[in-house]
Amino acid sequence: MGKKDIISKHVLKHLAADIANILLHLDIDNDSVELLSTEQQRIELRHADLVARVKQRNTQESFILHVEIQNNNDKQMPLRMLRYFTDIQLAYPDERIHQYLVYIGKAVLNMPDCFKAGDFNYRYHILDMHTVDCQLLLAQDTPDALVLAILCDFKERPVQDVVNYIVKRLQQLLKDDESGFRNYFEMLETLSENRSLKSNIDEAKNMLSEIDIKKLPSYNWGLEQGRKQEAIEIAKQMLSFMDDEKIAKITKLPYETIKSLRNSKPH
């Protein structure tokens, strides 16, 4: 994970909880996340992407969650995951380990989720982000889901349009919470490096620095008109990568308004 060694522990904990709950559906307690050290020295230094002790909400049972984010097919991946498993298990011999590989590469996934040798069988879980509908994450319209949407396959949607929307919507949702925005943006930057989207993030960042959102008309007009105009601007940003019904649901604008915006959009 690109900037893993320099981003804050608070951000990493938040990221671990979001991946576990939003992408992997593990239903863990967000406050239970405890980052663990996994560096082991043999011939070379190996460092697993994200390793944390977590607790499930209902049972309060704890386990170690290991998540690797991979952007290409690696025929040695099962053995790499096995080596991570043994390193983690040696460091924490009495704890259960759940391993997940999150695949975000452009090529079709062709890595196996197991390693077999004679009577020995080892298996881990793979989540192919091509199977995760980016539109569903965007439609959740929460900072956490928006950040994780950066890992999705955008299909035919223009990459810069999607990145711009994610960054703008983060700012709109967090409003005056500058610290919260910085944390989420830090997570976004970290995850975007796995997909080589740094230049797109930088462009979106420059766009924000050029616009003082408090000077937009929606802050100066009457409250009702201002909210409507802000919703229309958000809807315009969504047109490139989301269908009309979902846009109407998120913005709370009439379906006919969304349809009119789409029909008037330059082709």
For the segment 31-63, what is each residue's pLDDT rounded down to a tens digit?
Answer: 999 999 765 544 444 455 889 999 999 889 999
CA atoms of 196 and 204, how far apart (whole Å):
14
Place of tokens 């576990």: 20
Strands 62-70 and 97-103: parallel
Could you tell me which residue, 12 or 214, shows the higher pLDDT? 12
In this prediction the pTM is 0.70
Q: Kindly list the domain boundaries of the chain, sorted by start residue.
A: 9-131, 134-264
Helix (H, G, I), strand (E, B) or coil at 190: helix
Residue 78 has pLDDT above 70, yes or no: yes
List, in sequence order, every residue forming a beta bridge with 128; answer none if it has no partner. 103
Which residues lie closer than 8 Å to 245 by C-beta, 6 or more apart? Answer: 255
pLDDT of residue 155: 80
For the segment 93-113, what is each residue's pLDDT rounded down to a tens digit?
Answer: 999 999 999 999 888 999 999
Could you tell me which residue, 219 or 239, shows the higher pLDDT? 239
Q: Give me the architecture of the 9-131 domain, per CATH.
A: 3-Layer(aba) Sandwich (3.40)
Residue 156: DSSP 8-state = T
Which residues lie closer than 8 Å to 3 by C-beta, 6 or more apart? Answer: 189, 190, 193
The answer to whether 201 touches 3, Cβ cutoff 8 Å, is no
HSE, CB side, 13 Å, CA atoms: give it for residue 61.
8
